[in-house]
Structure 1
Amino acid sequence: MLNQGLRVVLLALVYALSVHASSCPPRCECSEAAQTVKCVSKDLQNIPTGIPGYTKNLFITGNQIDRIGPESFRGLENVTTLSLSNNRIFEVESHTFSSLRNLRSLDMSSNQLTLIHPEAFTVQSRVLRELNLSRALYNHSSVTDLTTALRWSTLGGLQVLDLSSNSLIYLPPRIFSHLGSLRRLQLANNSLVAIYNDTFTGLEHLEELDLTLNALKTFQEEGLRELEHLPRTQLLLGENPYTCTCGIESFATWLNGSQSRVGDMEHVVCAFPADLRNTSLLTVGELALGCHRAGEGDNLALQTSYVFLGIVLGFVGLMFLFVLYLNRKGIKKRIYDMRDACREVWEGYHYRYEIDSDPRLSQVSTSADI
């Protein structure tokens, strides 16, 4: 009886193992104990079907998947962590992740997102906390799609957004305005040249903003105002090509008053000109740049130019008057001659008028001519 009972138990175990094994999609690895499914570098063309319902951690990475839609993740309500990195995904349809009611972390890094539908990131439960889109945007037009998707989608609970390494040149106004719970925003290793008005509108709870390794040469007044709208945010501003000329004075002054907010102040240094390279912007001011002295010099030169021009014009005027004085007799004679000529012409016109107006004089003039 003991052997028969043991045999039954073994058969049950084998059956359970076979059921679990058969429930794992082909070319994937499944662990019920860890509630994890991995489909890594298997040249998959689509999201595999038959993923076990117990799955909480789903890793489908390094494949050849080009699009995902609402049908891709049906029946996976328990998934909390989803990684789709490095899959060459170019299209994300609306409501793709709507069935993932417990999704907290979504990694779509290292893809080629070209077409992002307006409600691509709509999640019904609004529990998504982390969204990784680093190295994911294929071109600059996808930034516009992303802006629309962030505004239309239900990401009010999102706390971490990674947009690093996307070659971003600019950020559309109010792109993050619907992400009121965001705590960390990573924009490192892009090509941002400036921060404009309304760039960070709506991020009252932001705790960390990473702007390292961009193309920032300075922060203009509107950019500084945007940073002032984030009073509780730790800023990372280093490793940018700051150009330490007179235009950077306002930024240098702001830095000196905001040192506690910049977490990598040692890397906020001049890149140009060469004689100030690696000089901390904290030490770059009016004395180092000589901006005010240069301005005073320019004003002095301008004033000197005006004085010199006045002297030249005055001298020309004096010379003109002197020439007139030397030729006063000739000029007087010319004036008299012009007066006499004008008088003769006038008398001729007057005489002609009298003849034309009197018929008798006209007849005499005609007979005289004969």
Structure 2
Amino acid sequence: MLELAQRMVLCALVCSIYARASCPPGCECSEAAHTVKCVSKELQTIPKGIPGYTRNLFITGNNISRIGPTCFQGLDNVTNLSLSNNRITEVESNTFADLRALRYLDLSSNQLTAIHQEGFSMHNHTLRELNLSRALYNHSAVTDLAAALRQASLGSLQGLDLSGNGLVLLPPRTFSRLGQLRRLQLSNNSLVAIHNATFWGLQRLEELDLTFNALKGVPEEGLRELDALPVASGLLLGDNPFDCTCAIEPLALWLNRSRDRVRDTEAPSCASPATMRNVTLLAAATLTLRCYQRAAGADLALQTSYVFLGLVLGLVGLVFLFVLYLNRKGIKKRVNEARDACREVWEGYHYRYEIDSDPRLSQVSSNADA
């Protein structure tokens, strides 16, 4: 019995030594929790020899510049992969293709400048959550991401976080292949407009966060885009610098009739003009109607002015014609005198022309003058 106990202790010791030996340098491995952590170890590349039992893999706070398809080979059991804050600039094609069980991918707080068109292509439709907050470094990365999302097989993706990326405009149909997406985070960007086809294809989207952007208004085209999200009931529009001039009326009226879809209906408020600052859009809906009434009154006044001007000009014309009628005899006499004067001048020029054209008449005229 004692010998059996010694053997068991020896096996446990050997297994623990083997487990520690199989853990990559700079990482902490827990077979019981199926977790490997390589945190803030100044790693330059994804470490080799990560145990095959790993389900939760945290490689964060390092100096890894690029990741490719050879980085995660043999890790079929990984379901949660966090690569945040690694200064990653490039994602190569098929980087995550071997992660056949991957459900959650975190690439937040990186410096992505290049995402290959097949950077997010995966063999299985397993990925549910993709975190790219504060991950895109410039506009070219946004264009690359749009192309990668349209190319990737992410038909099961349910959550996408693009917050904090300085986005100004989203390319049309960026999310057209994400038919199962339910949550889209676009907060803390610089979005200035919602255009046609911005959210095309998101038929199952339930939550859309547009807070802390640069929206001064949403035109009717953008409102139709929001109305095209059939099941969305968690829209957030607060903390945008809305310009509450007459053009805000379509958005204000839409907000009033969409209370069941907009979660923060009381939050969207006016940032300008100064007289409207901090007034909610719900209240601005009635105020802007007055603006349009004033505009309609101004149009009516302008039309009245045109009618009055036409009447005045017509009256002046009648007076002018009446004056001509009263002076018709004098005018006729002056016209006849002017006609006779012109005729005499014309005959004089004609006679002179005949003399100049005939040398004999010219000589007779000269002798007569002598």
Fold match, TM over 0.5? Answer: yes
Alignment correspondent of 1:14: 13
Alignment correspondent of 2:28: 29
Q: Give the match's secondary structure for 1:261.
A: coil
Deviates more, 1:342-351 or 1:325-334: 325-334
User: Is the counterpart of residue 190 in structure 1 residue 189 in structure 2?
Assistant: yes
Q: Give the match's secondary structure for 2:284.
A: coil
Q: CA 1:354–1:245 in structure 2 vs 1: closer, same or farther (change >3 Å)?
A: closer
**Is the CA contact (8 Å cut-off) linking 1:38 and 1:58 kept in structure 2?**
yes
User: Is the counterpart of residue 76 in structure 1 residue 58 in structure 2?
Assistant: no
Query: Matched residues in 2 for 1:63 and 1:323: separation?
Result: 97
Q: Deviations over 1:58-90 (max 9, x none)?
A: 000011111101111111111111000011101
Question: Structure 1 length normalisation: TM-score?
Answer: 0.89
Query: Matched residues in 2 for 1:236 and 1:362: separation?
Result: 103
Alignment correspondent of 1:99: 98
Alignment correspondent of 2:281: 281
Alignment correspondent of 1:255: 255
Deviation at 1:346, TM superposition (A): 2.3
Deviation at 1:223, TM superposition (A): 0.6
> After the TM superposition, which residues 197-216 of structure 1 pair with which residues of structure 2 at under 5 Å, given as runs?
197-216=196-215
User: Is the counterpart of residue 108 in structure 1 residue 145 in structure 2?
Assistant: no
Deviates more, 1:258-267 or 1:292-301: 292-301
Query: Matched residues in 1 for 2:335 and 2:289: separation?
Result: 65
**Is the CA contact (8 Å cut-off) linking 1:113 and 1:142 kept in structure 2?**
yes
Q: Give the match's secondary structure for 1:71.
A: coil
Query: Matched residues in 2 for 1:249 and 1:358: separation?
Result: 87
Q: Give the match's secondary structure for 2:38.
A: strand
**Is the CA contact (8 Å cut-off) linking 2:155 and 2:180 kept in structure 1?**
yes
Deviation at 1:338, TM superposition (A): 4.2
> After the TM superposition, which residues 123-272 of structure 1 pair with which residues of structure 2 at under 5 Å, given as runs?
123-234=122-233, 235-272=235-272
Question: Structure 2 length normalisation: TM-score?
Answer: 0.89
Deviation at 1:251, TM superposition (A): 1.4
Q: Deviations over 1:11-69 (max 9, x none)?
A: 22221111110100001000000100000111111101110011011000011111101
Query: Matched residues in 2 for 1:9 and 1:299: separation?
Result: 96
* Alpha-carbon RMSD: 2.8
Query: Matched residues in 2 for 1:287 and 1:157: separation?
Result: 45
Deviation at 1:96, TM superposition (A): 0.5
Query: Matched residues in 1 for 2:86 and 2:159: separation?
Result: 22
Q: Deviations over 1:273-303 (max 9, x none)?
A: 3333333322323456512321133113313
Deviates more, 1:194-203 or 1:325-334: 325-334
Deviates more, 1:233-242 or 1:40-49: 233-242
Deviation at 1:188, TM superposition (A): 1.0
Query: Matched residues in 2 for 1:85 and 1:38: separation?
Result: 12
**Is the CA contact (8 Å cut-off) linking 2:246 and 2:288 kept in structure 1?**
no
Q: Give the match's secondary structure for 1:141.
A: helix
**Is the CA contact (8 Å cut-off) linking 2:248 and 2:288 kept in structure 1?**
no
Q: Give the match's secondary structure for 1:145.
A: helix
- Letter of the structure 2 residue corresponding to residue 243 of structure 1: D
- Letter of the structure 2 residue corresponding to residue 299 of structure 1: D
Query: Matched residues in 1 for 2:330 and 2:29: separation?
Result: 116
Query: Matched residues in 1 for 2:282 and 2:230: separation?
Result: 20
Q: Deviations over 1:136-188 (max 9, x none)?
A: 01012211110100011111111111101111111111110011111111111
Q: Give the match's secondary structure for 2:283.
A: coil
> After the TM superposition, which residues 33-44 of structure 1 pair with which residues of structure 2 at under 5 Å, given as runs?
33-44=32-43
- Letter of the structure 1 residue corresponding to residue 236 of structure 2: L
**Is the CA contact (8 Å cut-off) linking 1:41 and 1:61 kept in structure 2?**
yes
Query: Matched residues in 2 for 1:330 and 1:64: separation?
Result: 104
- Letter of the structure 2 residue corresponding to residue 155 of structure 1: L
Q: CA 1:199–1:108 in structure 2 vs 1: closer, same or farther (change >3 Å)?
A: same
Deviates more, 1:299-308 or 1:324-333: 324-333
Q: Give the match's secondary structure for 1:39.
A: strand
Q: Give the match's secondary structure for 2:105.
A: strand
Query: Matched residues in 1 for 2:254 and 2:5: separation?
Result: 78
**Is the CA contact (8 Å cut-off) linking 2:216 and 2:242 kept in structure 1?**
yes
> After the TM superposition, which residues 322-361 of structure 1 pair with which residues of structure 2 at under 5 Å, given as runs?
335=335, 338-352=338-352
Deviates more, 1:80-89 or 1:240-249: 240-249
Structure 1 unaligned residues grouped into runs of 5+? none
